[in-house]
Structure 1
Amino acid sequence: MSASAPAATRRYGGSLIQIVALVFGVVFLLVGIAGFIPGLTQNFDTMMFAGHHSEAMLLGVFQVSVLHNAVHLLFGIVGLAVAASAVASRQYLIWGGVIYAVLWIYGLFTAGMADAWNFVPLNTADNWLHLGLTVAMILLGIFVPRGSAVRADPATQ
């Protein structure tokens, strides 16, 4: 960057890919926290640590457990941490998408099953969300450019 670049551009060195990772991190953190708030999570008193017996429903739609919420919190923390690096942000999005693909496939086979394999309570809404996260994270990780998120006005350079 040139010495004449606006102060905001010099002050913020984040790339667009870093902002995308940061946004995913914040959203995952908020979802993880929301899963522990009665009212936002219906049937909160039925929440289990893990397993299909948990009837707690985030926003009345997504089946959650303590383990499920903890995974969201972990994804959020990692998203915030990797946002410091463009390369790490890209890897977070791509590999996070792959992990959600595995979780989506897992949900297709275990949703509604009442056995030990169903240790993360998932319902159809969760499965659709995980598929959407898979596609969004992988595509964003591949196609979002690494360039600066804050562009200097060419007239000031």
Structure 2
Amino acid sequence: MTTASHHAHDFHVTRDHVRSASMGMGVVFLLVGILGFIPGITTQYGSMAFASGSEAMLLGAFQVSVLLNLLYLAMGAAGVWMSRGVLSARNFLLGSGAVLLVMWLYGLIVGTSAANILSTNASTNWLNLILGVVAVGLGAAYAMRHRGSRAL
């Protein structure tokens, strides 16, 4: 008869997890931002606009603009940089997740109107929602697990 450890059913978000999550999210954002500027990977590249009106499609599915690509690059650089410390990594996850959720909500509200200055489509909005929920979830899981702890 074997017995499971009392910790077997718990998921622990450790310092390494939160730092790795920040680094991973940062790398994903950097890749998305860089790939958005590469013709071929981004279809209809010639129709890319700085902001609204862009018809460029990353991987043929995610509508992108220069502004959106720059935003992803900035968030990616922040994620990589902030992964160096535990608190900054957690703050990056919470902050970038919140930004992505606001971008998702903004995309839902403005739709395809002229107010859509980021030039997002439904696929981009879903991507922002998923990445935002994952980032906030990881940051919040670490924060809740270690609330009140001074040894962060």
TM-score (norm 2): 0.82
**CA shift digits 1:107-137 (9 cap, x unpaired):** 0011211x2x221101110111111112101
Note the residue ranges of structure 1 that are not aligned, 5 or more in a row.
1-13, 147-157
Q: Which residues in structure 2 correspond to 1:95-110 (within 5 Å)?
A: 95-110=95-110
TM-score, normalisation: structure 1: 0.79
Q: Does 1:62 align with 2:72?
A: no
Deviations 1:5-60 (A, max 9, x none): xxxxxxxxx72211110011111111100000001000000000111x11100000
Higher relative contact order (CA 8 A, sep 6+): 1
Q: Residue 37 of structure 2 aligns to which amino acid in structure 1?
A: F
Point out where structure 2 has 5 or more consecutive residues left out of the alignment: 1-14, 147-152
> Could you tell which deviates more after superposition, 129-138 or 67-76?
129-138
Structure 1 position 46 matched with structure 2 position 47: yes
Indicate the percent of aligned positions where both proteins have the same amino acid: 41
Retained in 2: the 8 A contact 1:111–1:121? no
Q: What residue in structure 2 maps to residue 34 of structure 1?
A: 35
Distance 1:44 1:37 in 2: 8
Letter of the structure 1 residue corresponding to residue 38 of structure 2: I
Are 1:54 and 1:121, in contact at CA under 8 Å, matched by a contact in 2? Answer: yes
RMSD: 1.3
**Which AA in structure 1 matches 2:76?**
G
Question: Once superposed, which parts of structure 1, at least 4 consecutive aligned residues long, lie more than 4 Å away?
Answer: none
- Hey, what's the Cα distance between the residues in 1 that align with 2:35 and 2:121? 18
Which residue identity does 2:86 align to in structure 1? Answer: A
Aligned residues: 130
Q: Which has the larger radius of gyration?
A: 1
**Partner Cα separation in structure 1 for residue 128 and residue 107 of structure 2:** 9
